[in-house]
Structure 1
Amino acid sequence: MTKRLIVTYSWSGNTAQMATALQQVTGADQVMLTVAADTFSADMYATSDIANQQLASGKLPTLTNMLPELSQYDTILVGGPVWSAKVATPVRTFLTQLGDFQGTVLPFYTDAGTPGGYEADFETLLPAPVTFKAGIGLSGSQLAKASTILQGWWQKEN
């Protein structure tokens, strides 16, 4: 039996909403990634600047929650917001912790209009033994129909 995990970072709540709908579709376990409360601003533009500084310095934020033992899962669905067409820095931190995970990883993400090269950026962050599968992104306006959209996507993927 395939065991699945949904790992999510949500800055505004949109990706968390998508993750909840995805959990209902997949039946996967779920964990939310957290960072210290003062890591990012409540302002979207200030948060973008902070994330760009983190990327430039190579100092990614520390995750503040415990993660389950990843080796017990066959598939990990990793969700986060698109920040400047890139993977959000807390999600980057998680991806560095995949270690020797040998299953499949699929991204899911929310964006404010265009994901740009999000999936290509995501794929470059995965360690060698991981199998990458194309993911799915939704804009905020699509979240009301998330369950229907995700159901159709998941049926095609599995």
Structure 2
Amino acid sequence: MEKKILIATYSWSGYTKHLANQITKLLPGADQYQIAVPAGTYDLTDMSATSDRAKNQLATGELPPLANPIPELDQYDLILVGSLVWSGQPAVPVKQFLNQLTNFAGYLAPFYTDAGVAGDFEATFKEWAPQVTVLPGQEGSTQLQDWVKAVTSN
């Protein structure tokens, strides 16, 4: 039986969305979901201001609502979650998305863009979604096909 795969992506500048599109070409049967927040939640011209706001949201637990309806996540075997790196971890809207994985019994594999260390990024995913098995992550498009093959073979 073929795995049902969701590619969920939060992209601030478009670079992470570009990476998600590359993954989609490798997994043409996968569904896509855009993790988005209401317009004006973050300053799209000032990464420093966005980072400061995100740190405050994490500290207070006041996460922004998601703008798009979330698909029924329990129908998927594997969810690939893409994000840029904010202050060494996934973007805050990704945390809000991961909070929705309460009935998800499959695997999760993160992919990311910008500076960061995969181990730290994966560790945050494990912290934010402790009930889910988190597979090794992927930074950027280098060896992307090998990563896709590895995470879909579980």
Among 78, 90, 93, the residue aligned to 1:90 = 93
State the shift of 1:79 in Å: 0.8
Q: Which residue of 2 aligns with 1:156?
A: 150
Corresponding residue number in structure 2 for 1:7:
8
CA deviation string 1:87-109 (max 9, x = no partner): 21000000001112000000011
Counting matched residue pairs gives: 148
Residues 64, 93 of structure 2: 8 Å contact kept = yes
With structure 2 as the length reference, what TM-score do the two structures score? 0.90
Decide which of 29, 32, 36 is 2:31's aligned counterpart: 29
Following superposition, the deviation at residue 127 of structure 1 comes to 3.7
* C-alpha distance in structure 1 between counterparts of 2:27 and 2:133, whole Å: 19
1:142 match: none
2:57 matches 1:54: yes
Q: CA RMSD in A?
A: 1.4
Quote the Cα distance in structure 2 between the aligned partners of 1:66 and 1:123.
24
Structure 1 residue ranges (4+ consecutive) displaced by more than 3 angstroms after TM superposition = none
**Paired letter, 2:6:** L
In the alignment, does 2:40 pair up with 1:38? Answer: yes
TM-aligned CA deviation for residue 33 of structure 1: 1.0
Q: Give me the TM-score of the superposition, normalised by structure 1.
A: 0.88
After superposition, the C-alpha distances for 1:1-32 in whole angstroms (9 at most, x for unaligned) are 21100001101111100100011112211010
The sequence identity of aligned pairs, in percent, is 47
Partner of 1:69 in structure 2? Answer: 72
**Contact between 1:100 and 1:127, CA under 8 Å: does it hold in 2?**
no
Letter in 2 for 1:149: Q
CA distance in 1, matches of 2:124, 2:133: 15
Partner of residue 137, structure 2: 135
CA distance in 2, matches of 1:118, 1:83: 10
Query: Within 1, Cα distance between the matches of 2:85 and 2:22?
Result: 18
List gaps (5 residues or longer) in structure 1.
Answer: 139-145
Cα distance per residue 1:63-101 (max 9 Å; x no partner) = 011111111110000111110111210000000011120
Deviation at 1:36, TM superposition (A): 0.9
Structure 1 CA distance, aligned partners of 2:25 and 2:72?
Answer: 22
What is the rounded CA distance, in whole Å, between the counterparts of 1:15 and 1:69 in structure 2?
Answer: 23
Q: Is the 8 A contact 2:122 2:134 kept in 1?
A: no
